[in-house]
Structure 1
Amino acid sequence: MVHFLNFVWFVPFVFKIVEKGSVYSLAVSNSSEEYGYYNIYNKIDSMQKAFQTLETNVQRKNTMLRQILQPITKMNDNIEMSDQSSQETKTVQPLQKNDTAVGFTTKLSGSYSSTSSNIRGSPILYNGGNAYNGTVFTCPSPGLYLFHVSMITSTEIGGIWIFKNSQQLTLAWAGVGDPQWNGASVSAAVWLDVGDQVYLRPHDSTLRLDSNSAFTGVKIS
């Protein structure tokens, strides 16, 4: 009987201990879960702060990179402008000697006794395109040409005609006077087609030319 009463008293005591243990275990479990959530939130906050710091550093480095590249970009622009200016300068440089530029200059001299004689040129000072043969200029390409003749003569009645084919264009006329040295000059602008010929002939049957007389022709367009 005594043992039975002791057992009955012991059972509630055990249940209380078990109950307290369960409560303690639940408290510990709840505390662990809360602690785990706390760590996760801390990690998320740390990651956000790290990303913000990284973004700030990237922006700062981009700003520094732009500041570094800006002078280089300006330098490249200046170099390109310099190259373009150099090319433009080269484009407008005066033409050098070019044998394909059509034109000639020759000195005139000699005595002539016929109005049908072609006046000779010698020496030939320039003959671009080789279109002047010493008496006649033969057009190698169509265009506008300019011709000029200047004469010094001791003939009493002296003059020189510029001819295109069989057509008289203009006359350099020294006039009528005493047989002394007189001068005259004349020019003619004329359109020529390929094969047209330009040459000089005396105005009168007698003509004596000083060696400083000259004949020039050039294609101008």
Structure 2
Amino acid sequence: MDSSTNMTPFVKCLMFTVVCLMIAGSCCEHSLDRRANVAKRSDNDTYYNIYTKINTLEKYVSNLETKLQTRTKLLRQVLKSVIEMDSNLGLSDKNLKKERKLASKKNALGFTTKLSGSYSSTSSIIRGSLILYNGGNAYNGTVFTCPSPGLYLFHVSLMSNSRLGGILIYKNSQQLTLAYTGDENPQVNGASVSAAVWLSVGDQVYLCPYSSPLWINLNSAFTGVKVH
């Protein structure tokens, strides 16, 4: 006789319940293991992502810091160059002003010369014995030739013991003024005279004796300067 036929309905129901519980337990265990594995992988992925992002952020910050240091160094070099350029420009401006001032002094039109010697003719041109200043090189030792138009001032100081001693200032062939020491024959007498005159390019100014013979003391002088 089959054993299953001898089982009572209660026993069959009990066995069915046990089998169901075993199957359910196995399924539940499998489900928990699966969930645990999934949870474990998820945690690992989360940790991996966080560390990866941290590493990436650290690299980014490091690169940014390097770039900032490079830019800072570059800016310092640029600033240093600008300061040096500004300093050089300042020196250049000072040098330029100094050179212009020196050039203006060198190119200032004017001259001063000492006079001396003896002259036996009133047609003689009195020569400079020692040129002290000759800005513009317009005075050649005997005649001043105007290089640029303008108002000029000329001055003569004469020391002489010649009777009727005197010096005339000429513009081209025109007599301007006379420095006259007197009619008598003194030991040494002095006289001076000035003349302001407008000159055009090429006009000439020079000195001639008022009378002859004329002896000129070495302390005499002739000066000319452009005033405007």
TM superposition score category, shorter chain reference: 0.5 to 0.7
Calculate the TM-score normalised by the size of structure 2: 0.65
Q: Which has the larger radius of gyration?
A: 2
- Indicate the residue corresponding to 1:158 in structure 2: 165
Give the direction of change, closer, same or farther, for the CA distance of 1:78–1:28 in structure 2 (3 Å limit). Answer: same
Contact 1:170/1:188, CA 8 A, preserved across alignment: yes
Query: 1:220 and 1:37, CA in 2 relative to 1: closer, same or farther beyond 3 A?
Result: farther
Task: Select the structure that is richer in helix.
Answer: 2
Q: Which residue of 2 aligns with 1:213?
A: 220
Q: Offset at 1:150? A: 2.1
TM alignment of 1:8-157, pairs within 5 A: 13-47=18-52, 49-50=54-55, 51=57, 55=61, 79-80=84-85, 82-91=87-96, 92=98, 95=102, 102-108=109-115, 109-114=117-122, 117-123=123-129, 125=131, 129-157=136-164
Distance across 2 between alignment mates of 1:105 and 1:196 = 18
**Root-mean-square deviation over aligned CA pairs:** 4.4
Q: Are residues 36 and 143 of structure 1, via their aligned partners in 2, closer, same or farther at CA, if it must alter by over 3 Å?
A: farther
**8 Å Cα contact 2:161-2:187 kept in structure 1:** yes
Structure-2 change in CA distance of 1:16 and 1:135 (3 Å): same
TM-score, L = length of structure 1: 0.66
Instruction: List runs of 5+ in structure 1 lacking aligned partners.
Output: none
Q: Name the amino acid aligned to 2:221.
A: A
The residue that corresponds to 2:3 in the other structure is 2
- Unaligned runs of at least 5 residues, structure 2: none
Query: Taking every aligned residue pair, what percent have the same amino acid on both sides?
Result: 40
- Tell me the secondary structure at the aligned position of residue 185 of structure 1: strand
The equivalent residue for 1:193 is: 200
How many residues are treated as equivalent by the alignment? 217
CA distance change for structure 1 residues 167 and 25 in 2, over 3 Å: closer, same or farther?
farther
8 Å contact kept, 1:152–1:210: yes
Contact 2:125 2:142 in 1 (8 A): yes
Q: Could you report, residue by residue, the CA deviation over 1:23-80 in whole angstroms, capped at 9, with x for unpaired residues?
A: 22222222233333333433444355552696489669958x96x8998788656644
